[in-house]
């Protein structure tokens, strides 16, 4: 076996090993969803006609109650298919623009098929490819999620200035890609409390600044989301061409949008040049603990963006 073939074989083996050795799959939250097949639209010439998502209809017929939203966690939402994640997002409002640090996690779109021998859903890419190529694609996507989670730790919001900065792990391997790393803004992680358990170091870099505003969702135009805009961030304090420009108008043209699941917990969508890239979650356990009970009891939600309240029907 040649060296290149041996390396390729080792890579394939490592990826498949990763796919089979990941942590046990989370159980999806027990919340209502619209059926994937619309029986009212049955067509004898097309018996497999699928439901085309209409968020207004989903929200009217299958509303998401406060109790349902309290069941969703940053961990179990990753067990949902992308259509289910979209249905959750479409039944949320933006809530208040966050303030302070929120730790984050990211996950790519999943399909409806289960990985053989597991309880995990296949990625959409793996589902499309199928067979061995599909399993290999699943493993690669899981590896990307792990790498992304190891580097990206969340976001720090400045509600007063309407800007945010991303928390990036202080990995020495990134030093060659950062202009003057000694002057990079940092965020100190508390030495005690729930946030501390999420970080291996006492501080993180603050990179990739972005502007915050309310704007139209690229998924659900019926109401606004909180928009995280990297296009014109070069006038934000602390901006540096490397690596911050990578996310801006001269790079990947990243645009995020978020909506509130419940206090302290936001569901987000990341786009590159207006093409959907991945999902992410943002969570601040202190806010969740402080305001969760009042929210569950039906307390008012502070809305900084247009919520289209006349369209909202919340189940009780």
Q: What is the DSSP string of 180-240?
A: SGGG--EEEPPSSSTTGGG-SSSEEEEEEEEEEEEEE-SS-TTSEEEEEE-TT-TTSTT--
Look at residue 309 and tell me whether its pLDDT is greater than 80. no
Instruction: Count other C-beta atoms under 10 Å from residue 282's C-beta.
Output: 23
Extents of the domains making up the chain: 24-311
CA-to-CA distance for 295 and 256, rounded, in angstroms? Answer: 25
pTM for the structure as a whole: 0.86
Identify the residue whose tokens are 């499309």: 128
User: What percent of the chain has a predicted confidence (pLDDT) above 70?
Assistant: 80
C-alpha to C-alpha distances, 286 to 263, 264, 289, nearest whole angstrom:
10, 7, 5
Length of the chain counted residue by residue: 316
Query: Could you give phi then psi for residue 118, rounded to 5 degrees?
Result: -135, 180
Identify the residue whose tokens are 């109790």: 67
CA-to-CA distance for 297 and 290, rounded, in angstroms? Answer: 13
Average pLDDT over residues 144-153: 91
pLDDT bracket for residue 249 (50, 70, 90): very high
What is the token pair recorded at 33?
A: 């969803």
Per residue in 24-65, pLDDT (tens digit) is 467 999 999 998 665 555 565 655 555 567 899 899 999 999
What is the token pair recorded at 113?
A: 């098929």
Per residue in 260-288, pLDDT (tens digit) is 999 999 999 999 999 999 999 999 999 99
Residue 272's DSSP bridge partners are: 254, 275
pLDDT bracket for residue 11 (50, 70, 90): very low
Per residue in 69-126, pLDDT (tens digit) is 999 999 999 999 999 999 999 999 999 999 999 999 999 999 887 777 677 787 877 7
Evaluate whether 189 touches 195 at the Cβ level (below 8 Å): yes
């Amino acid at each position: 076996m040649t060296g290149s073939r041996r390396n390729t074989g080792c890579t394939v083996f490592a990826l498949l090993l990763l796919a089979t050795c990941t942590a046990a799959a989370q159980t999806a939250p027990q919340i209502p969803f619209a059926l994937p097949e619309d029986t009212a639209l049955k067509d004898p010439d097309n018996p497999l006609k699928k439901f085309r998502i209409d968020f207004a209809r989903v929200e009217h017929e299958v509303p998401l109650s406060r109790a349902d939203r309290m069941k969703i966690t940053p961990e179990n939402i990753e067990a949902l298919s992308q259509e289910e994640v979209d249905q959750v997002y479409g039944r949320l409002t933006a809530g208040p623009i966050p303030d302070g640090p929120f730790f984050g996690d990211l996950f790519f779109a999943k399909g409806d098929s289960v990985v053989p021998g597991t309880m995990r859903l296949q990625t959409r890419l793996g589902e499309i490819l199928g067979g061995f190529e599909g399993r290999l694609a699943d493993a690669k996507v899981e590896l990307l999620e792990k790498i992304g989670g190891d580097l990206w730790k969340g976001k720090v919001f400045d509600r007063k200035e309407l800007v945010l900065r991303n928390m990036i792990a202080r990995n020495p391997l990134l030093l060659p890609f950062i202009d003057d790393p000694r002057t990079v803004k940092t965020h100190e992680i508390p030495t005690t409390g729930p946030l501390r358990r999420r970080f291996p170091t006492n501080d993180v870099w603050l990179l990739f600044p972005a502007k915050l505003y309310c704007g139209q969702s690229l998924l659900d135009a019926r109401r606004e989301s909180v928009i995280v805009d990297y296009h014109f961030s070069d006038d934000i304090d602390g901006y540096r061409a490397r690596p911050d420009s990578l996310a801006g108008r001269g790079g990947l043209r990243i645009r995020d949008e978020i909506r509130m699941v419940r206090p302290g917990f936001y569901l987000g969508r990341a786009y590159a040049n207006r093409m959907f890239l991945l999902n992410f979650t943002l969570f601040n356990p202190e806010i969740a603990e402080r305001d969760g009970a009042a929210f569950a009891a039906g307390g008012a939600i502070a809305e900084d963006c247009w919520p289209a309240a006349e369209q909202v029907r919340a189940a009780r």
